[in-house]
C-alpha cells in the first residue's frame, strides 16, 4: 500500500506503526535517547525517512511550553536601519534553531499592540521591538511577562532592556580618523539639530577634536538636514568664507556625498586638501558612488545579533547597551590604494 497521501503529514503514530513499535519508543528513537536498542532505532529512523516524517512543532511546543521562536516588531523594513538589524537578528537566532516572526507596524501603536497580542498567542519565547530612529520611545503596552528587548530606539523606561547605536562614540571615531590623517581644521555638517542622532554625532566629533588638543569654534559645528543638498550648500558657504578647512565630518552619507560633489566641483582636491567622512556606511552611496568615501559603519547587524542573544539568554537585564561602530576608510580620507 502506498503511503497515505490524504493527510498532509505523517504523524509519529504512523511512523511507530510502520516500524512496529509504540509511539513512546518511536519518540525516544527519533530524539536520540540511549534507552533504545540500536536495531530498533534504525528501524524507526528508516520508517520516519520513508514517510517523510516532520515532527509537529505545535504539539511539541504545546507540551514543552516554549516554541523556539521570537517575534520581531519593526516600524518599517525598507528604511535604512531595520533591514540590517533584522538580518543580524535572524543570523543569531538561526544558529539557535529559533524562528523569526516578523511584523511591520508603520509606527501605528494600535498595530503594535495587535502584533504583541498575536505573538503572545503564538507563545513566542521573546519579543524584539526594533525602532527606525535613534530616539527613545515609550514602553510597549500589553506585554504580560514575555521578555522584551528594544533595539535602536531605546525604551524610555529604565526597567526595560535596550540595545542601541552609540552615536557619540561614532562621532569620536569619525573625528579621530580625520585627525589621524593629519587634519586640523575640522567641520561637522550635521542633520537637523532637533534630532538626537545629529546632536550626538556632533558632540562626539567635538569631544574628539578637543581631546586631540585642537580648537573648535561653534561655527565649525553646523546643523541642517540629512540631504545631499545641505552638504553641497554647506561646503559652498565654508569655502566662500575663506576660513581654513581640511576635514569634514558629515552627519550621514547623503550629506557626505553632497559635500564631496561640491568640493570636487570647486576644484578642491580630496583627500589632500580636504578629507570627508560620513556615517552609516550605506553601500549604495559610500561604496558604489563614482567617488567612494569613508564612513562610520554603525554595525547594525551586530546590534541586532546582540539584542537577539540578550533576549534568548535568560531574563534581559534592564538598561541600555550602546554599540559603537567602526570606521571604514576609503578614497575620501586615505586616497586611492597604492598599486
Partner DNA sequence: TTGAAAGCGCTAACAC
Partner DNA sequence: GTGTTAGCGCTTTCAA
Per-residue mark of binding to its own copies, 241-260 (x: CB under 8 A): -------------x---x--
Q: Give the nearest distance from C-beta 305 to its own copies in angstroms.
A: 13
287 binds, among DNA, its own copies, none (CB under 5 to 8 A by kind): none
Cβ closest to DNA, residue 25 vs residue 132: 25
83 binds, among its own copies, DNA, none (CB under 5 to 8 A by kind): its own copies
Contact 274/246 with Cβ under 8 angstroms? Answer: yes
Which residues contribute to the site for DNA (CB under 7 A)? 7, 9, 11-13, 20-25, 27-28, 30-31, 35-37, 39-41, 53-56, 59-60, 62-65
Contact 245/273 with Cβ under 8 angstroms? Answer: no
d(CA 286, CA 293): 5
Residues 6+ apart with CB under 8 A from 288: none
Q: How many CA atoms lie within 13 A of 6 on its CB side?
A: 0
Q: Give the nearest distance from C-beta 62 to its own copies in angstroms.
A: 5
122 binds, among DNA, its own copies, none (CB under 5 to 8 A by kind): its own copies
The grid cell for 196 is 538626537
Tell whether residue 58 is a contact of its own copies (CB under 8 A). Answer: yes
Cβ closest to DNA, residue 40 vs residue 91: 40
Q: How many CA atoms lie within 13 A of 138 on its CB side?
A: 8
Q: Give the nearest distance from C-beta 179 to its own copies in angstroms.
A: 29
Q: Which stretch binds its own copies (CB under 8 A): 144-152, 161-169, 183-191, 193-201?
A: 144-152
Cβ closest to its own copies, residue 207 vs residue 261: 261
Residue for grid cell 531605546: 154
Tell whether residue 122 is a contact of its own copies (CB under 8 A). Answer: yes
Alpha helices (H) in the chain, listed in sequence order: 12-19, 23-30, 38-50, 57-64, 82-94, 109-121, 167-180, 196-211, 228-241, 253-265, 300-312, 331-334
273 binds, among DNA, its own copies, none (CB under 5 to 8 A by kind): none
Using CB under 8 A, pick the residue from 23, 40, 45, 87 that binds its own copies: 87
Q: Give the nearest distance from C-beta 127 to DNA in angstroms.
A: 19
d(CA 335, CA 324): 25
d(CA 51, CA 12): 10
Q: What is the DSSP letter of 218?
A: G
Cβ closest to DNA, residue 30 vs residue 256: 30
d(CA 98, CA 100): 7
Tell whether residue 55 is a contact of its own copies (CB under 8 A). Answer: yes
Q: What is the DSSP string of 243-295?
A: ----EEEESSHHHHHHHHHHHHHTT--TTTT-EEEEES--IIIIITSSS--EE
67 binds, among DNA, its own copies, none (CB under 5 to 8 A by kind): its own copies
**Which positions touch its own copies (CB under 8 A)?**
5, 8-9, 52, 54-59, 61-62, 65, 67, 69, 72, 76-78, 83-84, 86-87, 90-91, 94, 97, 99-104, 111, 117-118, 120-123, 144-146, 227-229, 232, 254, 258, 261, 282, 284-285, 288-290
Amino acid at each position: 500500500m502506498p503511503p497515505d497521501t490524504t493527510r498532509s503529514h505523517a504523524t509519529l503514530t504512523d511512523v511507530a506503526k510502520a516500524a512496529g513499535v509504540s509511539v513512546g519508543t518511536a519518540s525516544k528513537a527519533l530524539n536520540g535517547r540511549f534507552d533504545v536498542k540500536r536495531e530498533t532505532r534504525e528501524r524507526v529512523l528508516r520508517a520516519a525517512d520513508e514517510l517523510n516524517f516532520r515532527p509537529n512543532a505545535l504539539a511539541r511546543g504545546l507540551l514543552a511550553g516554549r516554541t523556539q521562536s521570537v517575534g520581531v516588531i519593526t516600524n518599517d523594513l525598507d528604511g535604512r536601519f531595520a533591514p540590517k538589524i533584522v538580518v543580524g537578528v535572524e543570523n543569531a537566532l538561526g544558529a539557535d534553531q529559533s524562528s523569526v516572526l516578523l511584523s511591520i507596524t508603520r509606527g501605528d501603536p494600535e498595530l503594535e499592540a495587535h502584533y504583541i497580542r498575536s505573538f503572545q498567542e503564538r507563545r513566542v519565547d521573546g519579543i524584539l521591538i526594533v525602532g527606525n530612529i535613534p530616539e527613545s520611545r515609550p514602553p510597549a503596552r500589553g506585554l504580560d511577562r514575555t521578555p522584551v528587548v528594544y533595539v535602536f530606539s531605546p525604551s524610555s523606561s529604565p526597567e526595560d532592556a535596550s540595545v542601541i547605536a552609540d552615536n557619540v562614540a561614532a562621532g569620536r571615531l569619525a573625528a579621530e580618523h580625520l585627525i589621524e590623517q593629519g587634519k586640523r581644521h575640522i567641520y561637522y555638517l550635521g542633520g537637523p539639530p532637533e534630532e538626537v542622532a545629529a546632536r550626538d554625532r556632533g558632540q562626539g566629533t567635538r569631544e574628539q577634536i578637543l581631546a586631540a588638543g585642537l580648537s573648535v569654534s561653534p561655527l565649525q559645528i553646523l546643523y541642517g538636514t540629512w540631504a545631499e543638498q545641505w552638504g553641497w550648500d554647506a561646503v559652498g558657504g565654508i569655502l566662500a568664507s575663506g576660513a581654513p578647512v581640511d576635514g569634514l565630518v558629515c552627519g550621514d552619507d547623503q550629506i557626505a556625498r553632497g559635500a564631496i560633489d561640491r568640493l570636487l566641483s570647486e576644484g578642491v582636491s580630496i583627500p589632500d586638501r580636504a578629507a570627508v567622512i560620513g556615517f552609516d556606511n550605506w553601500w549604495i552611496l559610500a561604496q558604489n558612488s563614482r567617488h567612494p568615501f569613508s564612513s562610520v559603519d554603525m554595525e547594525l547587524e551586530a546590534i541586532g545579533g546582540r539584542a537577539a542573544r540578550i533576549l534568548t539568554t535568560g531574563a534581559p537585564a534592564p538598561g541600555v547597551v550602546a554599540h559603537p561602530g567602526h570606521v571604514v576608510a576609503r578614497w575620501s580620507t586615505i586616497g586611492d590604494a597604492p598599486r
